[in-house]
A = this chain, B = another copy of it.
């Protein structure tokens, strides 16, 4: 029962990355671990999804990056949020909330009462 497919819906990954980076500069590998930890292993981000997403966000001007040294004494690329990225985070978070509310309404629609 290892199941627990991550299966993040399209577009959600960007939102989560922006949120983690908003808390302070982090490198890619740490982002994945943080998501895994906070979500209690529900959100698993493969590297093949993570790094392209980071580059996308950087190209869109939502993230900026610098090379620095990690606590373990290794070079890593630390990402931080730009002003534009912070605005985008707000927009996407609001959008996410609106969507989940709407889906909640739909899933809560009454039926016969089989349950």
> How many of A's residues come within 8 Å of B, CB to CB?
32
Beta-carbon contacts under 8 Å, A28-49 to B? 35, 38-40, 42-43
- Which residues from B are CB-within-8-Å of A65? none
Q: Is A59 an interface residue (CB 8 A)?
A: no
A99 within 8 A of B: yes
Q: Is the interface of A mostly helix, strand, loop or mixed?
A: helix
A87 → chain B closest CB, angstroms: 14
Write 24 A-B pairs (CB below 8 A) sorted by A numbering.
A7-B11, A7-B99, A8-B99, A9-B10, A9-B12, A10-B10, A10-B11, A12-B99, A12-B103, A15-B103, A19-B107, A20-B106, A22-B111, A23-B109, A23-B111, A38-B105, A38-B106, A38-B109, A39-B102, A39-B105, A40-B105, A43-B99, A96-B103, A100-B100
